[in-house]
Amino acid sequence: MVRLPLTPAEVERGQRLGALLRRARGHRSMPDVALASRISPETLRKIESGRVATPAFPTIAAIADTLGLSLDAVCAEIETDRAERTAEDRSALPVARRPSLVS
């Protein structure tokens, strides 16, 4: 399977996710949190470092549960504020054209 390169926004979101998980982990060791989440410590390390910017949903759900984070809180923390989306983001959307009423 060929993976497409990540967009800058996806990379940034992965970095925010990693920072959130590191903060939530606090003084707990990475192996303890990983094993409680039923993932490998290496996977947790890659997510926390931002090397895996788009981890699978069940993986994030398991880590969040272990750390006592709600998925809503995780999403709110890592997503950019929708009000801050630039006109450039919106301009990439296709524009619907109305049929002309004048022949």
Could you tell me the domains of the chain?
8-80 (1.10.260.40)
| CA–CA dist 48, 42 (Å, integer) | 10
Residues 20-65 pLDDT 10s: 999 999 999 999 999 999 999 999 999 999 888 889 999 999 999 9
pTM value is: 0.72
| CA–CA dist 37, 68 (Å, integer) | 11
